[in-house]
Structures are given as C-alpha cells and as structure tokens.
Structure 1
Amino acid sequence: MNSADLYPCEVEASWLVPLGKQARIRIAWIYVTLFCSLFYLIPGLGLGVVLLALNGHLQAAGTLVVTLVGLSVIPMREWPEARRAGELLYELFDVRTNLKASMVDEWHEEGDRYILGMHPHGIIPLQTLLWCAFCHQYLRPGPNRSGPTMYGFGGMATVLTRLPVLRTILGWLSGRSADYKTLKKGILSGKNLYMLPGGLAEIFTAQPGHDVAVWRPRRGLCRLALETGARLVPLYVFGGNDFFDQLATSDSLIARFSRKYKMSLTLYWGYLGLPIPYQPPNGVVIAFGNPLPSRRVDHPTPADIDTLHAAYEAELQRVFDLYKKPAGRPNARLRVI
C-alpha cells in the first residue's frame, strides 16, 4: 500500500440502510454515548452497593451484588450481527480507509494468518467498534467481497472479561482475554487476531491532537507472530485520540497505579463535560500498513524478535507519514515510545 488514496466506509447492513442517513446519525449518537457511559456506570454501580450498605439498605445492596455477579459470569458468546452496529459510526465520524479489495484478495490467496496491531488505543477505544464493523464488512475476498470474512478475534485486557454488561458486549464482538496462551491458541486454530498493542499504557498518552504509539517495550506480540507464523500488520487510526479529554495522562500517579494493577482509572469527558465523544475535526482514517514477512520459529531468539520489532515500528512510521496529509494532519508527527 504505497499510494495515499483513501476510500469512504459505507453503511451496508440490511437493517441500517433503510433508516436513512439522518436517522442513522441520531441512533449513532445514542449508541456511542451509551457505550462510553458504561465505563462510568460499572464503577458507579459498585459505589452504589457500598452506599446502600452504609445506609442500612442491606437487602437492596445484596440484590445489586447478586445481579452484578450474575452478569459477570454469563458465558461470553459471539454474535456476528452485533459487529455491524459499528457501521453506525461511519457517517458520524466520517470514516475512511486506505484498504482496497485487491489487497484483501492477496492476503486471502496467500493463506496466511494475520495479527493486526492498531494504534492508538485511545481513552475509550471507540475505534474498536469501528474496527469490528470494518473487519466483518471489508476483510472479505472475492468479487463484491462475497467471500468468507477474515474477521478472527480480538484480544482485550483480562479485567474487561470480568465486568458485567461490558463483557457481554465484547463477547458479542469476539473479544477474548489477551493472555499469551489464549492468543496463541486462537491463531493456531486458524483465526486472525486484532490487538491494541499499546494497551493500558497508551491510554495515558491519549490527548486530542497527539499521536503517540507505545511500542518500544512491547516484545510479546513479535514473539507470538514468530511462534505461530502469523504476519504482523501495523495500522494507525488518525483521530483515535480525538474523542475525549482526560484527567490522567503521562506518568501521573493515577496512570502509574493503573499500569501496576492492569486497570484504567481516569476521568474522561467530551461534549458538555459528559461521556459524549467529540467528533474528530478531520474525521477518522484507518490506515493499514503492509503485512510483514512471515516465518515460523518455535523458539525465537532475542535477535529474531528485535528484527521483527524494528520492522513493525518502521512500517507503522511509514504508513503514518504517508497518510497524515490525506488524513488532514500534514504537520502531525508520530511519537513512538
């Protein structure tokens, strides 16, 4: 992908097209606001349990606890049609991409497995909702994308698999715990993997107008690629940091605590100081890099990992520099840390 052409993502779900653009945008605002509010609702419910108990409402507190525990153990199941809800965000955020159907055909013909690494994580990774819809819709080979989806599964922080409601939604989207054994097993079963390699650390670098990728300390994804023979594909989402402002950034006390205990603790806000995301000023651009060469190594050496790690960073930087002008940010600079 050496040209800088971009293509709009178009709504195609049979249950969305008849609604019309304005109706879809109104529904999109509701959908995205409810999703972003979940990250406040869940700790709020926990606080509610404490307050009810302190005020002597033990039965109500117990009922709420049982409800939350029940929602936390409901089996996580895939629901492919739920992926398509992310198409609602295409028009809301003016989503474009550089991915062409011919490239997907090439990927499919080669028969390789892929690990797609997306940066930046963002505070609330709305790009994952976009990503699920996008992969389900566009990662299909053949005429008019008529082939089977190359969707695969997503790796997510283990803590998210234990949170009520949110775990159910992420399960619908084929999310799994991002522990190494689970990811390796999924790839070796023949599925592609999509990841946010920057993880929690990248959350605390997220500020509107800033482009930061946390990659220098990340070696596990390269080892995973070598041990499974999967091909790494770096991609950058322009606008991914522009949805919210937040309180905890960089090396603040809250950021250090969150990294230590593998949870993201921060206060975030968008329009009106509420969890309503800003619309990125230049829209959202999903820019794919080229798949890196693949080879399977059962016991990769540090040198093997370092070589692939450097190649990933170089390709991420290349695709960023190539598409920053078409994405409306000609003077942007990607900081890789």
Structure 2
Amino acid sequence: MLGTEIVEPPLDTEFEAYNGKQQYTVLEWIFTSLFVVIVVPGLIVALLIAYPIYVLPMLLVYGQWAYGVEGNTQRTGGWGITYWGIGLWSCNRHVWSHFREYFRAHIVRTAPLPPGRNYLLCVHPHGVYVLGLVANVINNRRVFAQLFPSLTLRITTLELNFRVPLWREILLSQGAVSVDKDALEHVLTETNARGEPAGNILTLVVGAAEEFQLMEPHTMDLVLNKRRGFVKLALTTGADLVPLITFGENDTWRRETNGLLVDINKFLKKYLKFVIPELQGRDGNPFMPLPAKLVTVIGAPIHVDRVENPSAEVVNSLHQRYVEALFKLYDSYKDDFFKDRVRDMRLVK
C-alpha cells in the first residue's frame, strides 16, 4: 500500500463469520439473474399458449413499447441517471452487505476522478460474472458515489440482454447501456448544459468472454494485447482511461477444461459472443462461488485528448501507455492483495 489510498471498508474491518445469510444472498443474486433470463421467457410462451386471448394483447402493447418506442434506449444513454428510484434502491439494498461479506470485499481508490470529464473504466480480469465489479461497484453505489462524487456510473452489457423481457428493465433501471460502439460513443461524448463533459464513468470489461476461458485460480491472464478498440474509442471521444483490477476474481470458481460444454462454448463465443460457465464452486456446486477475497483497485485516470481520426501509431502509443499504467497498478498492490499468486499478471493475447 502507498498510504494515499481510500479503502472501503477499511482493511482492518472484522467481517462476520461465514454464514447462511451470506451464502443465501450470493445464490439469490445468481438464481434471480438465471430465472429472469431463462425462465421468464419460457413462462411468457407458456402463458401465451394457455391464455392467448388475455396474454397476446399485453405482449403486443409491451413489445410496441419496449422494442418499438424504446427500441434504441440502450444505445442512446439508457434511462439516464440512476441515483433515484428503484434502480438506486436495488443497488443499495442492505442485503448486498451480506454479499460483500461473503467475499470479504473492499474497494480501493488510488486517486480522485475530477468531475468535468468522461471516463472509460476498464475492468480486469473478466472472471465468470465480474463479481468484484458487482460487489464493489454496481451494487455498492452509495460508497462508489462517495469515493467519486459528481460522476454518473453507467455499466455496459451485451445488446442481447436488452431483448429479454423484464431483464431489460432491470438493467436499464440500474444504469446499463449496450456495449455496442454507438452506445459507448453516446455516453462518452455526452455533455452537460454548459457544453462540458457530463461526468459519466462507463464500465467496460476489456477482455470479454474470451478472457473467462483463460481463468485459473491464483493467476491473472488477460486478453489485452490484441484489444485496440477501447483505446480508439477513448481517442475519438476524448474520454480518459481508468484501469481497474479486482484481485481474487479468478479464485471464485475452478473451471472445467474438458467435456462437451467446452466445445459448445467455442461455438457460442464465435457466433453469439457469450459462453456458458463450466464451473466447480464451493463444495462442488457450480452455482455457488468460492469465498475468495475480492479487492477492487481503481487506478489514476490517463488523460486522453480527443482525436477525430487517430492513426494506428497514435492508437498503439496510447495502448502502450495504458498497459504500462495497468502493470504499475498491479505491481503496487500485488503483494498486498495477491500474495497467493502462482505467477504474475500476463498479457497472453
């Protein structure tokens, strides 16, 4: 530790012993997500078959609103500021304290992010469900807002998620936008009434699903060398780059490396851009992650001047600056939060 950080909660915090409340909260989050994404669409189809006269009109009205009137909402900034209403409430529920306790979670701010700029918060590593981001940022909004005041957090997710009824509304209420290029550009070029950058901080998991397939306990292998799109995006929008590392992310599950599911995932990744986790969790339960300690460290911003049509040389130069800043952040905290590593962070692709 450098001594200039702000850590929430403090590192000497005594968490409750592992208990059923913590495990229930983690399982609730996982199963709620799976229920909404998988079961709800099937339930809608079943109700449509059983009660077409009643269900069809409601579906037509909902479809016209969600996929017609609001069809581009996720690409044009989403539902806007989420620091009010059900989105804020759901992200600040007390139940999330049990979620964080299960992972002994901490968020570390190494430097302030001044208002009056837009930021691209680059998340490493992907892990399975980016649990560090969920525990310390997405469902810890009150603390995040205290650490980075006057900024509006936006989270990115696959466009496909906004096609699922109810799931799209949950995501939009929490400040989510599509990960498509036009959606990212919209948020990162947004201005306030004075014509200044709006103060958005947009999360982006740079390694994406491909990085999940590299995860092993006590390692941090990243897909970054071949990623240039996020750097070009920062240049064309003038958004500052901010590195984020969650130590312990890859320790939350052990990944199966053989079997039919591995082959299925190769197909899914190629054509649908997502994968089905092949996991072994706590007590062999694929749905229950291991209680790994998750420490999310957010680095200092890398200032980026806007360049309308950056050359390959300019993109590569900024990419190198980012990689150097990421390794500096890693080296500064690896001996505090990654003591059980079997090797240091690597850029493997």
TM beyond 0.5: yes
Report Cα offsets for 1:172-206 as digits up to 9, x if no partner. Answer: 32111011111111111122211111111112222
Q: Is the 8 A contact 2:133 2:296 kept in 1?
A: no
**Alignment correspondent of 2:215:** 206
Cα distance in 2 for partners of 1:89, 1:60 equals 39
Instruction: Go from structure 1 to structure 2 and tell me whether the alpha carbon gap of 1:34 and 1:90 turns closer, same or farther (over 3 Å shift).
Output: closer
Q: CA deviation at 1:233?
A: 0.8
Q: Is the 8 A contact 1:118 1:197 kept in 2?
A: yes
**Aligned length in residues:** 310
Structure 1 unaligned spans of 5+: 12-20
**1:324 corresponds to 2:325:** no
Equivalent of 2:309 in 294, 299, 311: 299
Q: CA deviation at 1:45?
A: 6.2
Q: Distance in 1 between matches of 2:172 and 2:327?
A: 32
Deviation per CA, 1:239-296: give whole Å up to 9, x if none. Answer: 11222233368x943332122121222333422314112111xx11112222112211
2:166, 2:21 → 1: CA distance? 20
Amino acid at match of 1:9: E
SS in 2 for 1:300: coil
1:108 — aligned with what?
A: 114
- The 5-angstrom pairing of residues 53-202 of structure 1 reads 59=50, 73=66, 77=79, 78=82, 79-85=87-93, 86-100=96-110, 103-104=111-112, 107-108=113-114, 111-130=116-135, 131-134=137-140, 136-140=142-146, 148-189=149-190, 190=198, 191-202=200-211
Q: What TM-score, normalized by structure 1, do the two folds share?
A: 0.77
> Any unmatched runs of 5+ in structure 2?
71-77, 191-197
Q: Call closer, same or farther: CA 1:99–1:164 in 2, change over 3 Å.
A: same
For residues 31 and 151 of structure 1, do their structure 2 counterparts lie closer, same or farther at Cα, with a shift above 3 Å needed? Answer: farther
1:35 & 1:65 partners in 2: Cα distance?
Answer: 30
- Kept after mapping to 1: 8 A contact 2:240/2:303: yes
Q: Deviations over 1:79-113 (max 9, x none)?
A: 1232224444332212223315xx32xx326x322
1:146-295 to structure 2, matched below 5 A, reads: 148-189=149-190, 190=198, 191-247=200-256, 252-260=262-270, 261-272=272-283, 273-280=285-292, 283-295=293-305
CA contact (8 A) 2:177 2:183 kept: yes
Is contact 1:6-1:97 (8 Å) kept?
Answer: no
1:64 deviates by 9.9
Q: Is the 8 A contact 2:9 2:107 kept in 1?
A: no
* 1:118 counterpart SS class: strand
Tell me how far apart the structure 2 counterparts of residues 112 and 82 of structure 1 sit (CA, whole Å).
27
Q: TM-score, normalised by structure 2?
A: 0.75
Deviations 1:52-86 (A, max 9, x none): 89xxx953899999999969949775412322244
Question: Within 2, Cα distance between the matches of 1:123 and 1:3?
Answer: 30
Q: Of residues 11, 25, 34 in structure 2, which corresponds to 1:31?
A: 25
How far apart are residue 49 of structure 1 and its match?
8.8
Contact (CA 8 Å) 2:125, 2:250: kept in 1 or not?
Answer: yes
Q: Which string of whole-angstrom CA distances, capped at 9 and with x for unpartnered residues, describes residues 211-245 of structure 1?
A: 12211221111111111111101111001122223
| 1:8–1:198 Cα change, 3 Å | same
CA-based RMSD of the aligned residues comes to: 3.7
Question: CA–CA distance in 1 between the matches of 2:221 and 2:346?
Answer: 5
Identity of aligned residues (%): 21
What is the CA–CA distance in structure 2 between the aligned matches of 1:149 and 1:23, rounded to whole Å? 35
For 2:286 and 2:252, how far apart are their aligned partners in 1?
Answer: 12
| 2:120–2:201 contact (8 Å) kept in structure 1 | yes
